[in-house]
Each structure stands twice: as C-alpha cells, then as structure tokens.
Structure 1
Amino acid sequence: MHYFSSDFKLGILGGGQLGKMLLYETRKWDIQTKVLDSSEEAPCKIACDKFVLGSLLDFDIVYNFGKDVDVLTIEIENVNIDALEKLEDEGIKVYPQPRALRIIQNKATQKLFYTDNEIPTSPFTRFAYTSEIKDSITNGGLSFPFVWKSAQFGYDGQGVKVVKKIEDLENLPNVECIAEDMVNFKNELAVIVSKSASGEVKTYPVVEMEFHPEANQVEYVICPARIEEHIAQKAQEVALKVAEHINLVGLLAVELFQTQEDQILVNEVAPRPHNSGHYSIEASYTNQFEQHIRAILDLPLGKTESKVAGVMVNLVGAEGYTGDVVYENITEILGLEGVTPHIYGKKQTRPFRKMGHVTIVDEDMGRAREVAQEVKEKIKVISK
C-alpha cells in the first residue's frame, strides 16, 4: 500500500497532545490524517487533514468515523471498543487490536491478566464498588496502607489514591476498583516495546521515572535509567513477556517497579505512545511517535537506541492557578544548553493538568539531570 502523498487515510481516536505529536510524524511523511475528539480546542485540530468533533465512547460516532479510514489507531485507550470490533470485522485495520484494548482498558482485568500469565505484579483485591472496601478492612481481608485504583477512566494521576487510613476512602467514587498492596520500591521504571503488523519487535532503553508525591504524576523521565545492567536486562525481559502475551500491534509502554530486593514487578501498561517516551523526540534515533506509525503501517521499525542522555520534565499547571495559561520564565529556560520545550496547545490551565514537557539532552547524564532541575525550578505554568 502507498502511504506517502497518496489517498491512504489514517484515523486517530483522540486529539490530545499524544495525537498532536503523532501528527508531527504524519506531516513529515505527508500521510493523510483524520482525528476524532470531544473538544473543539483539541491540540490535534490544527495539524490533521480532517477533524471530527464527537465522543470517543459513543458507538455510532466511533463506528461512522472509522468506516472511511484505512488504518485506525488511538492516542487514548478510553474509547468504544464495541465499535472498534465491528470495524475490524468489516475489514478496517485497527491497531492496537480491540481484544488487547479490552484487557488494558480495565485495570482489574489487566491485573488478572498478569496473574493468569505468571507475570510478576503486586498483590491486589478486586471490588465491584469502593464501598465494599470498608467491610474488607473490618473483616481483616485488607490492611493499610494500600493503593486504590478506579478500574476504568483513570489518567494523569486521576483515579488513583494512596489509602493510609479509613478517612482516605471518603469522597472516592463508588465504582469498580482494585486495592493494591503498597510496593516498597527502589525505582519506578518503564520500557516501551514496539511491534509491527508483520511481527518485528524492538524495545527502547529502560527509563527511570520520578513522580510528584501528591499528584501521582511523572515529574522527570531519565534515559538511560541509573540502574545496574542486570536490572535493566531483567526489566526488558519482563516487558517483552507482557508484550508477547498481550500481542498488540503498535507501542506498549510497560511501567515497572524495582523492589528493594531487586524484583521487577509490572505496575500497569499503556497501549500507545506514552509520557515515559517523550525524551525520545530529541534523544533517540527513532522517536516513539515515528515508531508507532512505522509499526501500525507495517514499515521497518527504526533504531531505538539513544544518541545522547535525555531527561524529560513534565510541565503541569501550578497549584492555585486556573484559567488562560501563561508559561512564566520560558525565555530563560531557552537560554540553557540542550533544552527543548514542547507546548501542547491547551489554552486553559488548572492544577496538575499536563500542559507540555521539556527535554534536556547532554552527553553527560549528570549534567542533563542538573539542567532538568534548573528547568523545573524556573518555569511555572500559571494563569493570567
């Protein structure tokens, strides 16, 4: 099939920042694109060939959107899978495949998948409703502390809460959920695995993630991870085992814990380009967004090694600010060597909303991390 400067049409479900960065690659190769999103101000709107406004969870909207594309992909997993299955049955290529999305979309189903396939993960309990947790605590079935996770529709730290006492359960939504044992970890790691439609598989280097303690969001992604080689090898092996069993086409980001005993446990996965791979735009031979396009179009996968050390800093809305966004001190960080900001195009900020990221590259990881700290301290995402 001819993809470049042709009638071929790629459909993308979701118009957020991940979609916008996918479009950097489709525009580079002159691939025609059509995007569906529920927001008139979706970051993708300015860069796709056709933008469609509508809900990603509505069967008819998703089905009708997908009928006239050649390949359909996603930039967010909270989509109507029934519609994707019907499109797939009618001959539309849907990547990642709907059967894989069914496993991943629900965190309880995802955790059961790990245990069924002997993939190491933290112990957990599944609940039909959050209200059932109190009874489990009372009867000795669950003890503090644990991590509460909504089974569906959690993202960017939403739908996750560390529960240390009974009062922490107050105001949580009464939904299907899981309670995970707290993991005493040394490091939070991630590996991105790419697989093409014809079965070629490549992995990116192991990255290290540093999280904001309150927002449960990644603040820094560091590549390569500052871990011993045998730990990196073990992390790669676990990520490949997950990818082998889920068997999806495209990218699979596998988030991992390195325990105090150097076990590698799977936290959760994402079937798409991922925050942990943003560093690759500047630091890698083939960035994660180009790799995703290569995979779903069954083109040869690119080289995944890094050219230099890379650190990614997330730009999120500052606490206490809501409204028209202002990036304070952005000019100052542009004066630092190896710094590249990416602004997602969201006009309104609110506390902890992902508004952009900054990549810092350097031949020396120590210097890159120092500059990243300086960037984090200088730039503020506030409102007018």
Structure 2
Amino acid sequence: MAKDFYGELQLGILGGGQLGRMLIQEAINYNVNVHILDPDKNAPCRKLCNRFECGSLSDFETVYNFGKELDMITIEIEKVNVDALEKLEEEGVVVYPQSRIIRLIQDKGLQKQFFKQNDIPTAAFQLMSTKDNLYETVIGLPYIQKLRRDGYDGKGVKKISTPDDIATAFTEPSLVEELVDFEKEIAVIVARNDRGDISTFPLVEMEFNPQANLVEFLISPSTLALEIQVQAEEIAKKIAGDLQIVGLLAVEMFLTRDGQILVNELAPRPHNSGHHTIEGNLTSQFAQHLRAIFNLPLGSTAARTHAVMINLLGEPKYEGLAKYDGVEEVLGREGVFVHLYGKKYTKPFRKMGHVCIVNEDREVAIKNARWVQETLKVKA
C-alpha cells in the first residue's frame, strides 16, 4: 500500500465479535487504527477498538458510510452488504477479501459451482429453487439440504432421510448434496497476499457437537497419513490461487472412509478451526491474516507443539448473564490457555470462548482437554 501503515492506516472490520476481537489484539502490534461496525451495542470489540459504530452490516448506506473514510476494510463475518463494498472498492478503499469473493462465498450454490468449474473435489450436488424441487432430485436419499444463503454455525442444514422429511425441509433456495460417509472432518487454513505468496497451516482434525453441529474439539497437528495431509494442503492452495484471494481462507473438508478428500465449505476470514494457532504455532491465524492483507511476508506456520482447542459453548439449560464455573481450576493446570470473548449474555450452545491446551505429548494434551471440557462450564 502507498501509505505507511505503521500507526497511520485506518482499518475497518465488518463485525465486532470474537474474531474481530482477536484481530484487534494482533493489530495492536502494528499500531493500526481499528474501526468496527457491528449491530450489537454490546459486541465483544466495542471497548477495544479506536472507533465502534453500532449499525447493520447488511444495509448499503451504513456499510458505505462506515467505510468511505477508511484505507482498508476486512471482515470477520460473510453476511455483509457486498454492493457497498464494491462501491468502496471503486472509490479506492482496499477491501480484503475482495468483494467478488465475499459474494461468491455468501451463496453455497455458487461455492459448489466454483468447485465444479475448477476441478475441486466435492460431494455430488444439485441446486434447488423451491421445496417442491426436492421431490425430483437426482441425488438419492438420504441427502443433506443446505440453504444457499445465511446458514452458519450449523444452522441452515437439514438431513433428509425419507420422502416424509421433505414436508419440513427449507422452502428457500437451497442445494442438496450427497450424504458423505466420512471418517473425519478436517480443515486447512491458507493465506495469500497480494504478491501471490501462499502459505498453509498444518491440517487439523475436528470433532463436532452432535446437538449444535459446531466444532467442539480440534487437534493439531494431524497424525493422518502424510499423503493425506499434503493432498489437503495442496487443495487449499489451489483454491486460494484460483480465487486470487488476498487474506485468509478456511477450507473445511471431509476425509471419506475410502481415503478421498472432499471440500465441504469455505470461509474467507479467520476461522474457528484456527484458534489453536495463537499458542500452538509460530504465527497465529490472526497475525497471518493481517500480514496477508497488508501485503507483508507471510509468517511461518510451523507447529510449536501439540495443541488441542475446545470451544466454550453455553450450557444447554442456561440463558442470561454469563457465569464461568471452573476457570481457576483449569488455569491451575500447566499448558491451559483460556480465551473469553467478552459476551455479556449466554444461551444454549452460544460460543462464549475457547481454550487451547498445549503439551509436547499429544495424548497428554488430549487427556487434559477432555478434563477441561468436563470442568469449565458456561452457565447463567
């Protein structure tokens, strides 16, 4: 960028949640001035940024007016007004990831078509305009129905097992995809700067909460066969190169029982599958995202040690002012790092924080993480 950003650059982040909060924590090291737009007046970023504006991320005028005096805009959530970002780009504001990429990723149908056009392995799929089309799908039962837009954190996904299930299916435009018989859910985070440099973080293995369909447990680095790890990282690099993205891209994948890797979804920003990198890797995903959008050399992604990340989700029967039981107890154990997101209120399965557990012995790290899961609870 023409402007020397050390202390001068005005960076806007669309979204003031935990990802924005952790980006701010890293941006402080560069003396960058951070401006936040979020619809929640109590957003986690509200007291940490140089300027906080409470407003809609989907309203054209709000996003445009927020960004027009800034040098650069990035995102921590994809559900933003892309038309406003396109206008800002035309007027010289740098937007990373680029607005065209955000527009593509906002629509899971366009994502799938991109995979098909660029020979990215993915599950067989079919686009659906109405619920009635579900009776005519060429994808055999059972299958997964996904809303094309606005699905996140396990929402907007249904399993259709029998014709009777179609009665309760989504009525909005959606896609159906083949139900994948997978062995593991895996992810690779890849970064690309404007010079075209591309770097991946080591492959991670994930476990999901069956009730909320949220990542609950993540292990890094993976112990899967080396060829699987290399193949997954090459797929992520290809996607980043094909998109010509600037910034971070999380690539979520399935490893099938017969050893295939199928890409599930993309997220063009820091991601839940990279939180362990703060303690577990030489460069965190948040530092890497800033390096990429500032067009700096990308940092080393090498693992420091074995790291396990668990999400702190609101306990099922509690809603109200958040109360954290067991924090002191878990902090008394070596290698446990607690990150609370500053959310005032909890509700069932809301992401309230995460914990990273590190140890030179992988099995000890996993054992300690299971203990943390049982000990640290978010109640009200």
Give the TM-score category using the shorter length.
Answer: over 0.9
SS at match of 1:33: strand
| Counterpart contact for 1:12–1:73, Cα < 8 Å | yes
Letter in 2 for 1:109: L
Map of 1:321 onto structure 2:
318
Q: Does 1:102 align with 2:103?
A: yes
Map of 2:293 onto structure 1:
296
Letter in 2 for 1:380: K
Map of 1:2 onto structure 2:
4
Distance in 1 between residues matched to 2:14 and 2:200, nearest whole Å: 24
Distance in 2 between residues matched to 1:351 and 1:36, nearest whole Å: 26
Superposed, 1:267-282 pairs within 5 Å as 267-282=264-279
Query: Cα–Cα, structure 1 residues 351 and 130, in superposed 2: closer, same or farther, change >3 Å?
Result: farther
Query: Cα–Cα, structure 1 residues 336 and 193, in superposed 2: closer, same or farther, change >3 Å?
Result: same
Map of 2:153 onto structure 1:
156
Deviation (angstroms), 1:322: 1.2
Choose the corresponding residue for 1:363, options 343, 360, 367.
Answer: 360
Q: Does 1:373 align with 2:370?
A: yes
Q: With structure 1 as the length reference, what TM-score do the two structures score? A: 0.96
Shifted more, 159-168 versus 370-379: the winner is 159-168
Letter in 2 for 1:280: T
| Counterpart contact for 2:216–2:310, Cα < 8 Å | yes
Deviation (angstroms), 1:348: 1.0
Letter in 1 for 2:314: G
Distance in 1 between residues matched to 2:166 and 2:379, nearest whole Å: 31
Map of 2:66 onto structure 1:
65
Distance in 2 between residues matched to 1:225 and 1:165, nearest whole Å: 36
Letter in 2 for 1:211: F
Deviation (angstroms), 1:173: 4.0
Distance in 1 between residues matched to 2:274 and 2:85, nearest whole Å: 26
SS at match of 1:45: coil
Deviation (angstroms), 1:169: 4.2
SS at match of 2:184: strand
Distance in 2 between residues matched to 1:130 and 1:315, nearest whole Å: 35
Q: Does 1:260 align with 2:257?
A: yes
Map of 1:36 onto structure 2:
37
Distance in 2 between residues matched to 1:30 and 1:77, nearest whole Å: 26
Letter in 2 for 1:240: K
Deviation (angstroms), 1:360: 0.3
| Counterpart contact for 2:130–2:171, Cα < 8 Å | yes
Superposed, 1:187-336 pairs within 5 Å as 187-336=184-333
RMSD of aligned residue pairs (Cα, Å): 1.3
| Counterpart contact for 2:236–2:251, Cα < 8 Å | yes
Query: Cα–Cα, structure 1 residues 31 and 104, in superposed 2: closer, same or farther, change >3 Å?
Result: same
Distance in 2 between residues matched to 1:166 and 1:58, nearest whole Å: 39
Shifted more, 238-247 versus 54-63: the winner is 238-247
Deviation (angstroms), 1:167: 4.6
Per-residue CA shift, 1:109-159, capped at 9, x if unaligned? 1001101111100011111123432x226xxx3432211111111111111
> Which sections of structure 1, spanning at least 5 residues, go unmatched?
none
Map of 2:28 onto structure 1:
27
Map of 2:17 onto structure 1:
16
Query: Cα–Cα, structure 1 residues 169 and 312, in superposed 2: closer, same or farther, change >3 Å?
Result: farther
Letter in 2 for 1:33: V
Q: How many residues align?
A: 378
Letter in 1 for 2:149: Q
Letter in 2 for 1:308: T
| Counterpart contact for 1:238–1:264, Cα < 8 Å | no
Map of 2:88 onto structure 1:
87
SS at match of 1:78: coil
| Counterpart contact for 2:281–2:302, Cα < 8 Å | yes
Distance in 1 between residues matched to 2:288 and 2:353, nearest whole Å: 21
| Counterpart contact for 2:206–2:216, Cα < 8 Å | yes
SS at match of 2:295: coil
Deviation (angstroms), 1:175: 1.0
Letter in 2 for 1:25: E
Deviation (angstroms), 1:28: 2.4
Query: Cα–Cα, structure 1 residues 83 and 338, in superposed 2: closer, same or farther, change >3 Å?
Result: same
Distance in 2 between residues matched to 1:21 and 1:235, nearest whole Å: 26
Map of 2:76 onto structure 1:
75
Q: With structure 2 as the length reference, what TM-score do the two structures score? A: 0.97
Deviation (angstroms), 1:252: 0.5
Per-residue CA shift, 1:265-301, capped at 9, x if unaligned? 1001100000000000011111000111111011111
Shifted more, 57-66 versus 154-163: the winner is 154-163
Shifted more, 275-284 versus 99-108: the winner is 99-108
Distance in 1 between residues matched to 2:373 and 2:145, nearest whole Å: 29
Map of 2:136 onto structure 1:
136
Per-residue CA shift, 1:42-101, capped at 9, x if unaligned? 111111000011111101111111101101100001111111111111111100001111
Per-residue CA shift, 1:166-221, capped at 9, x if unaligned? 45445554211111111111111110110112211111000011111221111111
SS at match of 2:250: strand
Distance in 2 between residues matched to 1:312 and 1:130, nearest whole Å: 38
Query: Cα–Cα, structure 1 residues 147 and 321, in superposed 2: closer, same or farther, change >3 Å?
Result: same
| Counterpart contact for 2:105–2:111, Cα < 8 Å | yes
